């Protein structure tokens, strides 16, 4: 396998101007991976600042109803309310070790932007966040939250004015300011070494979950489920289980249904293509232009997916399923009532698949669902969708 | 000898003009190309519209969007190239494209179609040398030059690897950044030209940010064999979308002004003047 490749996927499809920065990043990452001082400091931030480890919660009520043993990995309890901070703290610290003086990031729903703003504030690095103009309106509260945390939000008015255009804009900023700036990419997408770096920083989720479930149950789970947009929370929880006899299921945004054009399921319904620096599955037209996507969960509303997921799909090691907006909304309400936990709409996709598939397991079967974020950010939207009634 | 090699052998420095195919629509775009050729452009760079042009600044991105909204597909681009080829049989034409357009069509088919349409070279802006295993042999098979890009940030080792693989001419990126007009050029273009010159006999053209006759003069003084102007011409199209006659006049005037700096003795040949005089 070539460096930076997952099977045939991945690579570095980037303008020449950026290649030196990617090479520098690769070298720095190799260096800090072996640096005990880096590990010690990251460990401190994750534990003392972010609140790791997060619990693996046994869900009594759901388990009784579904007839198997259901655990939630509680990334919703991480500081900032989602798994995103695992990656932003790691990369922000790495930027410090590289001598960079400024962070830039893209954000769709705003979660990664908020997590970058938090990491920048904690580590004393100024942060500029690119956000599609449409998203700055849809997610005005998160835009304000970023500003409160000291970041500058830069609305992007080009293209479809959403996440993919925010990534394009951040790339352009990076090309122009390579010496001073680290581009803190938020998911396991983009050119090598980003997919690898993001996976490694998110793998703490799976490492903890594996240890916790072994302590609790004395054995590994039967199934691990996570939602997949770009795929960072999923690759984070899957990675430490890949060599185990554990079923892994990634759940994509089925939107209005895979028989319509309104979804974000690049693995289930896309084809292979190069997008924003990597070869992976992509929702594209016959000429290779990325299509507009849709999901009720803004964090899953993206035309492509991390290249490692593309490989895991082809090898069959991970099964990828799609859940519709309606199923995700039902799961959002269900988990809120059944366990008193409001999940992010993204995470609700994983919950919805668990509800759909629980019948496959017997009473002793163990199901771990990655609850990648909390749903406070979605409450207003869901209220609107339901016409105000809970 | 290829049209590109023939051009650089005959003329130095050369003036390279850039347009996005289908901007603002197919028919106007063909007329824009003809105006650029009549005004004295030596080599035409034609961009294939792409929805996510990460190497381009806002000006050229808007041109991509206009072209896509007008329905410009890769097939339409090849049709445009065919028409330009008929209009100017000796003019070198280079396609400027993002890689997924090629990947999706299949590299062999893309380069076959490009050759059949009459293109001489292809510049793939997001395909570094490490990733060109598939495109490079396909381009060679169909006799298409693959124009290499070298940036100020490219290390000497990478430069060597890139130049081993290059043909036609080498495109030097003048600055760290995306395409787009700049007030001032990077101060060390001469250094870049000199460093690359040591590693290749191919002609060197400089682009990104070149937007005025003064910039053109500076690039030529730096020792380049060619100068590439993109955003400054695309802007003239964008500013005169409702006034096509004005658009062509502005293009003729701007290209004429830059050509006068390039080769003052060519002044009498500037076709922009013919329309006034005759």
Pick the CATH number of B3-262 from 3.40.50.300, 3.90.1150.10, 1.10.287.70, 3.20.20.70: 3.20.20.70
Residue B265 pLDDT greater than 70, yes or no: no
| Domain-ending residue, one of A145, A164, A198 | A198
What is the count of residue pairs from A and B with beta carbons less than 8 Å apart?
108
Closest of A198, A204, A279 to residue A231, by C-alpha: A198
The interface predicted TM-score of the complex, written ipTM, equals: 0.94
Task: Tell me the pLDDT band of A161, cut-offs 50, 70 and 90.
Answer: confident
| Predicted pLDDT of residue B276 | 41
Contact (CB, 8 A) for A119 and A85: yes
Share of chain A above pLDDT 70, in %: 98
| Domain-ending residue, one of A180, A198, A216 | A198
How many Cβ atoms from other residues are within 10 Å of residue B165's Cβ? 12
| Cross-chain residue pair A276–B61, CB shorter than 8 Å | no
The residues on B that touch A, with CB distances below 8 Å, are: 50-55, 57-58, 61-62, 65, 68, 73-74, 99-101, 103-105, 125-128, 130-131, 149-155, 158, 162, 173, 176-178
Closest of A358, A308, A352 to residue A333, by C-alpha: A352
Task: Tell me the pLDDT band of B264, cut-offs 50, 70 and 90.
Answer: low
| Predicted pLDDT of residue A164 | 84
Number of domains in chain A: 2
How many Cβ atoms from other residues are within 10 Å of residue A121's Cβ? 16
| Predicted pLDDT of residue A387 | 60
Q: Which domain range does residue A135 map to?
A: 5-46+84-198
Does residue A217 sit in the same domain as residue A286?
Answer: yes
Helix (H) or strand (E) holding A308: helix A307-315
Instruction: Map tokens 């760290």 to a residue.
Output: B176
Contact (CB, 8 A) for A291 and A303: yes
| Cross-chain residue pair B58–A175, CB shorter than 8 Å | no
Residue in A12, A17, A159 closest to B65 by CB: A159
Show residues of chain A in contact with B155, CB under 8 Å: 20, 23
Show residues of chain B in contact with A287, CB under 8 Å: 73-74, 101, 104-105
| Cross-chain residue pair A287–B173, CB shorter than 8 Å | no
What span, in angstroms and rounded, lies between the C-alpha atoms of A189 and A11? 11
What span, in angstroms and rounded, lies between the C-alpha atoms of B68 and A289? 10
What span, in angstroms and rounded, lies between the C-alpha atoms of A237 and A204? 8
What span, in angstroms and rounded, lies between the C-alpha atoms of A271 and A288? 10
Runs of H (alpha helix) within A189-264: 194-202, 204-217, 232-238
Residue B27 pLDDT greater than 70, yes or no: yes
> Is the residue at A390 inside a domain?
no
pLDDT digit string, tens, across residues B98-125? 999 999 999 999 999 999 999 999 999 9
| Cross-chain residue pair B105–A158, CB shorter than 8 Å | no
pLDDT digit string, tens, across residues A185-198? 999 999 999 999 99
Q: Give the mean pLDDT of A378-384.
A: 90
Does residue A311 sit in the same domain as residue A238?
Answer: yes
| Predicted pLDDT of residue A1 | 53
Does residue A335 sit in the same domain as residue A227?
Answer: yes
Share of chain B above pLDDT 90, in %: 85
Instruction: Map tokens 């703490």 to a residue.
Output: A204
Show residues of chain A in contact with B181, CB under 8 Å: none
The question of whether A83 is a catalytic residue gets the answer: yes
pLDDT digit string, tens, across residues A74-95? 999 999 999 999 999 999 999 9
CATH number reported for the structural domain that contains residue A273 in this entry: 3.40.50.1100
Does residue A374 sit in the same domain as residue A264?
Answer: yes
Does residue A288 sit in the same domain as residue A345?
Answer: yes
> Is the residue at A64 inside a domain?
yes
The question of whether B126 is a catalytic residue gets the answer: no
pLDDT digit string, tens, across residues A13-37? 999 999 999 999 999 999 999 999 9
Does residue A135 sit in the same domain as residue A190?
Answer: yes
Show residues of chain A in contact with B177, CB under 8 Å: 17, 172, 175-176
| Domain-ending residue, one of A168, A198, A228 | A198
Residue in B50, B131, B152 closest to A13 by CB: B131
Length of chain A counted residue by residue:
390
Own/partner long-range contacts of A314-317 (Cβ < 8 Å, ≥24 apart): A314/A7, A315/A7, A317/A242, A317/A248
Does residue A258 sit in the same domain as residue A327?
Answer: yes
| Cross-chain residue pair B54–A16, CB shorter than 8 Å | no
Does residue A207 sit in the same domain as residue A282?
Answer: yes
Using a 10 angstrom Cβ sphere, with 0-12 exposed, 13-18 middle and 19 or more buried, the burial of residue B112 is middle
**A139-155: string of b/e by CB count within 10 Å (b at 16+)?**
beebbebbeebebebbb
Instruction: Map tokens 């929805």 to a residue.
Output: B51
What span, in angstroms and rounded, lies between the C-alpha atoms of B16 and B91? 11
Nearest CA in chain B to A178: B176
> Is the residue at A342 inside a domain?
yes
Does residue A118 sit in the same domain as residue A150?
Answer: yes
Among candidate residues A68, A83, A112, A192, the one labeled active-site is A83
pLDDT digit string, tens, across residues A243-277? 999 999 999 999 999 999 999 999 999 999 999 99
User: What mean pLDDT is reported for chain A?
Assistant: 95
Neighbouring residues of A115: CB distance < 8 A, sequence distance ≥ 6? A80, A82, A84, A85, A87, A88, A186
Task: Tell me the pLDDT band of B273, cut-offs 50, 70 and 90.
Answer: very low
| Predicted pLDDT of residue A108 | 86
Runs of H (alpha helix) within A124-203: 133-138, 140-148, 163-176, 194-202
């Amino acid at each position: 396998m070539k460096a930076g490749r997952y099977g045939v996927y991945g690579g570095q499809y980037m303008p020449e101007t950026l290649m030196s920065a990617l090479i520098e990043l690769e070298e720095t990452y190799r260096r800090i991976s072996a640096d005990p001082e880096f590990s010690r400091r990251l460990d401190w931030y994750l534990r003392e600042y972010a609140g790791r480890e997060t619990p693996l919660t046994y869900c009594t009520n759901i388990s009784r109803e579904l007839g198997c043993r259901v655990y939630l990995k509680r990334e919703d309890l991480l500081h900032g309310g989602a798994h995103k901070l695992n990656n932003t703290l790691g990369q922000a610290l790495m930027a410090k070790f590289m001598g960079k003086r400024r962070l830039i990031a893209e954000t769709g729903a705003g979660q990664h932007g908020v997590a970058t703003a938090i990491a920048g504030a904690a580590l004393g690095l100024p942060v500029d966040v690119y956000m599609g103009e449409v998203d700055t309106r849809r997610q005005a509260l998160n835009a304000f939250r970023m500003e409160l945390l000291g970041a500058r939000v830069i609305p992007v008015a080009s293209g479809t004015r959403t996440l993919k255009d925010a990534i394009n804009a951040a790339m352009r900023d990076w090309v122009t300011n390579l010496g001073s700036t680290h581009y803190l990419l938020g998911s396991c997408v983009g050119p090598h070494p980003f997919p690898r770096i993001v996976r490694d920083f998110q793998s703490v989720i799976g490492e903890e979950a594996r240890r916790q479930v072994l302590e609790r149950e004395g054995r590994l789970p039967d199934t691990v489920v996570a939602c997949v947009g770009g795929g960072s929370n999923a690759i984070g929880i899957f990675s430490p289980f890949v060599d185990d006899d554990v079923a892994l299921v990634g759940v994509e945004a089925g939107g209005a249904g895979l028989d319509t054009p309104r979804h974000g399921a690049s693995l289930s319904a896309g084809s292979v293509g190069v997008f924003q620096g990597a070869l992976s599955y992509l929702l594209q037209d016959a000429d290779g232009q990325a299509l507009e996507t849709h999901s009720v969960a803004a964090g899953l509303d993206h035309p492509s997916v991390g290249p490692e997921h593309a490989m895991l799909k082809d090898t069959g090691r991970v099964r990828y399923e799609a859940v519709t907006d309606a199923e995700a909304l039902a799961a959002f309400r269900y988990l809120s009532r059944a366990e008193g936990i409001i999940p992010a709409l993204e995470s609700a996709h994983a919950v919805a698949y668990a509800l759909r598939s629980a019948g496959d397991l017997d009473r002793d079967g163990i199901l771990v669902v990655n609850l990648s974020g909390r749903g406070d950010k979605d409450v207003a939207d869901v209220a609107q969708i339901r016409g105000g009634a809970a | 000898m290829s049209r590109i090699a023939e051009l650089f052998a005959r003329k130095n420095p050369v003036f390279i003009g850039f347009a996005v195919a289908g901007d603002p629509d197919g028919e106007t775009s063909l007329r824009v190309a003809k105006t650029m050729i009549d005004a004295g452009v030596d080599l035409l760079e034609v961009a294939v519209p792409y929805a996510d042009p990460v190497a381009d600044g806002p000006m050229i991105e808007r041109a991509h969007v206009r072209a896509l909204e007008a329905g410009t597909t890769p097939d339409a681009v090849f049709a445009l190239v065919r028409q330009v080829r008929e209009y100017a049989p000796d003019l070198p034409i280079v396609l400027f494209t993002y890689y997924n357009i090629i990947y999706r069509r299949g590299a062999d088919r893309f380069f076959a179609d490009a050759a059949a349409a009459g293109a001489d070279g292809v510049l793939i802006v997001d395909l570094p040398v490490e990733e060109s295993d598939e495109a490079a042999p396909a381009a060679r098979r169909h006799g298409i030059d693959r124009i290499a890009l070298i940036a100020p940030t490219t290390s000497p080792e990478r430069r060597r690897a890139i130049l081993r693989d290059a043909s036609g001419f080498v495109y030097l990126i003048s600055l760290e950044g995306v395409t787009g007009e700049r007030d001032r050029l990077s101060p060390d273009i001469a250094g870049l030209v000199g460093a690359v010159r040591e590693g290749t006999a191919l002609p060197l053209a400089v682009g990104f940010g070149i937007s005025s006759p003064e910039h053109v003069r500076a690039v030529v003084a730096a020792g380049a064999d060619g100068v590439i102007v993109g955003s400054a011409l695309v802007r003239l199209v964008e500013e005169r979308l409702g006034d096509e006659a004005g658009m062509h006049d502005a293009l003729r005037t701007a290209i004429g002004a830059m050509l006068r700096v390039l080769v003052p003795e060519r002044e009498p040949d500037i076709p922009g003047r013919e329309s006034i005089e005759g």
